[in-house]
DNA sequence: ATGTCAACAGAGTGTTGA
């Protein structure tokens, strides 16, 4: 089974890119982030026309997440991240597909840091880590995927020294990610490619994609049950070079059935 | 400091967020 994640950066602005990518690569499950549209403005029909259906949690202007499947039943588990009743941002969806628990997340960016946005990021991260521990305790196959907005290590950024003050790379963000992984999760891309640069995001500024000045901020974390099922993983980086494309590229894993 | 996008309000371009 192939599972993909893609921060589309505006589902309506990127619709031709999204459809072309889905038709070309045909993942069984797709987690989307940054829809930037309320649920009623999500192009559900165009996506259904190429064989995908699923659950959406939209929001006007910002955020928004979705989990889509192709020929697979999807059972919704949650539309919010537990732990803060007052948090109304659409950043988390959870569903069960093929007996696998899938958490689709769009972790707050957090810039500028320090400041209230960075504080929100760190609070959200703590809530997420609490929830992730509860998912591990289920003792079931779990995949956590999406835009974590964290560069885990110096290996994951083209020039680490330029990102030291950024919310994506500050010690607090890296430390929260390490605490999460150390609960017992496997960083799927890094497991298969331990020693090479892997990027999932290239800024629109200064021809970052052409210079391969990228970051790795979109991740797949696997619960221990799935460790031995991981067959392959990759980044569809060519999509980042298409016209009217997102600043992120799709990331995918292939699991044994 | 800069740079590039998209959504929005509201009608031209500035603001916000990334």
DSSP state for residue A204 in the 8-state scheme: S
* A254 in Cβ contact with A32 (< 8 Å): no
Assess whether pLDDT exceeds 90 at residue A16: yes
CA of A203 to C1' of B5 (A): 10
Summarize the confidence of residues A1-30 as an average pLDDT: 97
Domain A2-255 has CATH 3.30.300.20: no
Mean pLDDT over A220-228 rounds to: 97
E runs forming strands in A2-147: 2-7, 29-33, 53-57, 65-69, 75-78, 92-97, 100-106, 142-147
Pairing of strands A186-187, A218-222: antiparallel
What pLDDT, on a 0 to 100 scale, did the predictor assign at position A112?
A: 93
Q: How far is the CA of A157 from the C1' of B2 (A)?
A: 20
* pLDDT surpasses 90 at A168: yes
Positions 13-32 in A, CB within 7 angstroms of strand B? 13
Spatial separation of the C-alpha atoms in residues A164 and A186, rounded to whole Å: 25
Would you list the DSSP string of A149-195?
A: ----SGGGBS-GGGSTTSTTTSHHHHHHHHHHHTTT-EEHHHHHSTT
Using alpha carbons, select from A214, A217, A212, A207 the residue that is nearest to residue A251: A217
Does position A183 have pLDDT exceeding 90, yes or no? yes
pLDDT at A257 over 90: no
Rounded distance, CA A233 to CA A127, Å? 28
Query: Which residues in window 205-224 of A are less than 7 A from strand B by Cβ?
Result: 205-206
Percent of the residues in chain A that have a pLDDT greater than 90, as a whole number: 99
Q: Which residue has the higher pLDDT, A206 or A126?
A: A126
Contacts for A43 with CB less than 8 Å, ≥ 6 apart:
A11, A12, A15
Q: Facing residues of A95 across strands?
A: A76, A102
Protein-to-nucleotide distance from the CA of A245 to the C1' of B5, whole angstroms: 10
A147 among known catalytic residues: yes
Q: A43-58: per-residue pLDDT in tens?
A: 999 999 999 999 999 9
Mean pLDDT of chain A: 97
Say yes or no to pLDDT of A5 above 90. yes
A106 is an active site residue: yes
The secondary structure of residue A63, as a DSSP letter, is -
Query: In the numeric block, which tokens belong to residue A144?
Result: 């956590």
Radius of gyration of chain A (CA): 17
* Residue from A147, A156, A166, A187 carrying the catalytic annotation: A147
CA distance A126 to A124: 5
pLDDT (tens digit, 9 = 90+) per residue, A55-88? Answer: 999 999 999 999 999 999 999 999 999 999 999 9
Is A125 in contact with A171 (CB distance < 8 Å)? no
Residues 152-191 of A with CB under 7 A from strand B: none
A248 is catalytic: yes
- Give per-residue pLDDT as tens, A117-162: 999 999 999 999 999 999 999 999 999 999 999 999 999 999 999 9
Q: Domain residues of chain A, as ranges?
A: 2-255
The contacts of residue A120 (CB under 8 Å, 6+ apart) are: A108, A110
């Amino acid at each position: 089974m192939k599972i993909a994640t893609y921060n589309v950066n505006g589902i309506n602005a990127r619709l031709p890119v999204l459809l072309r990518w889905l038709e070309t690569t045909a993942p069984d499950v797709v987690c989307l982030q940054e829809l930037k549209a309320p649920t009623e403005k999500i192009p559900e029909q165009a996506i259904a026309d190429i064989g995908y259906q699923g659950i959406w949690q939209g929001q006007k202007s910002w955020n928004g997440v979705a989990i889509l499947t192709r020929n697979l039943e999807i059972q919704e588990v949650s539309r919010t991240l537990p732990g803060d009743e007052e948090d109304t941002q659409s950043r988390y969806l959870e569903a069960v597909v093929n007996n696998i628990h899938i958490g689709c997340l769009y972790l707050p960016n957090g810039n500028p840091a320090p400041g209230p946005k960075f504080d929100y990021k760190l609070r959200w991260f703590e809530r997420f880590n609490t929830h992730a521990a509860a998912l591990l305790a289920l003792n079931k196959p779990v995949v956590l995927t999406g835009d974590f907005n964290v560069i885990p290590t110096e290996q994951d950024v083209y020039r680490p020294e330029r990102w030291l003050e950024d919310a994506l790379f500050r010690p607090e963000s890296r430390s929260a990610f390490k605490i999460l992984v150390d609960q017992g999760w496997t960083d799927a891309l890094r497991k298969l490619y331990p020693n090479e640069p892997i990027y999932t995001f290239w800024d629109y500024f200064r021809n970052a994609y052409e210079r391969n000045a990228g970051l790795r901020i979109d991740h797949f974390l696997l619960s221990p049950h799935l460790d031995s099922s991981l067959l392959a993983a990759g980044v569809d980086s060519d999509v980042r070079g298409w016209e009217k494309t997102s600043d992120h590229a799709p990331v995918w894993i292939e699991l044994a059935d």
